[in-house]
Amino acid sequence: MSNNDRRGFLAASAGLGLVAIAPGVHLMQVAQARPAGEPASKLQRWGMLVDTAKCATGCDACVSACATENGINEKVADPRQAAQWIRKIDLKDPKNGRQHSLPMMCQHCAEPPCVDVCPTGASMKRADGIVLVDRHICIGCRYCMMACPYKARSFVHQPLTQQNPEVPRGLGCVESCTLCVHRVDKGQKPACVEACPEGAMVFGDLEDPNSDIARRIAQTATTQVRADLKLNTGVRYQGI
């Protein structure tokens, strides 16, 4: 073994050692950056769990964080025409007056109606369950907006110029929460999850039985919004 070879061998074993401790790190970090050149995998399904008991009425830290992360900054004269990727909904049960508040965004369904109805296939679900709009082939027909049970999608009504380089968005196409796909692919959590001051949102891999989110869903009662539609949503709620 020459010197060079030995150096290579040492580096490789160090690398192996890192990989060996990676699962532990994995639990802490929720996600790992996917190596370059590797596609999203069917073995994962990204999801989110929102604990509405912790979600404070009047707090919209998640909404602000989303706007900053995704470059939602356009001035829109008519608020009805503004794009909203995530919004806070205040709920009140008329029967007993119980009130609570929760964030509503794309639920990243396993059976997304928006994908079913899209005439061109622009509305799509990535292998790891993230529902996206391929703006390259979106024709702006808005059929997905008609089909979405959560009003999660917005149509861009005016020209945009101040996009975040990592989050392209523009005139005449439909858009919605991407689960911060550009962050998730780097091993980070979505901006809203990171920003929540109450820690009410948990992000992780629903398919990994050891992940925080999967364990909590296995242990406590969680709800899918409009569960009657059997869409198998990736975003779950607790305490509705």
Q: How far is the CB of 209 from other proteins (least distance, A)?
A: 23
Q: Residue 35 or 199: which CB sits closer to other proteins?
A: 35
Q: Which two tokens stand for residue 213?
A: 């989110």
- The verdict on 198 binding other proteins (CB under 8 A) reads no
Distance CA 66, CA 161 (A): 18
- Phi, psi of 66, rounded to the nearest 5 degrees: -65, -45
Site for other proteins in 39-68 (CB under 8 A): 39-40, 60, 63-68
Q: Is 105 in the site for other proteins (CB under 8 A)?
A: no
Distance in Å, CB of 167 to other proteins, minimum: 8
For 141-176, letters b (16+ CB in 10 Å) and e give eebbbebbebebbbbbbeebeeeeeebebeeebbbb
Q: Tell me how far, at minimum, the Cβ of 226 lies from other proteins, in Å.
A: 7
Judge whether 238 and 102 are in contact, CB under 8 Å: no
- Asked whether position 30 contacts other proteins by CB under 8 A, the answer is no
Decide: is 197 part of the binding site for other proteins (CB under 8 A).
no
122 lies in the site for other proteins, by CB under 8 A: yes
Closest CA to 50 of 153, 204, 226: 204
Q: Any contact of residue 111 with other proteins (CB under 8 A)?
A: no
User: What 3-state class would DSSP assign to 105?
Assistant: strand
Concatenating the DSSP letter of every residue in 148-208 gives -TT---EE--S-----BTTB---TT-EE---TTHHHHTTTPPPHHHHH-TT--EEEEETT-
Q: With CB under 8 A as the contact rule, which of the stretches 3-11, 14-22, 74-82, 204-212 interacts with other proteins?
A: 74-82
| Interacting span for other proteins (CB under 8 A) from 47-55, 199-207, 210-218, 225-233 | 225-233
Site for other proteins in 129-188 (CB under 8 A): 130, 132, 134-143, 145-151, 154-160, 162-174, 181, 185-186
Alpha-carbon distance of 210 to 34, in angstroms, equals: 19
- Look up residue 35 and give its DSSP letter: P
Q: How far is the CB of 109 from other proteins (least distance, A)?
A: 11
Report the nearest approach of other proteins to the CB of residue 150 (Å): 6
CB-nearer residue toward other proteins: 24 or 97: 97
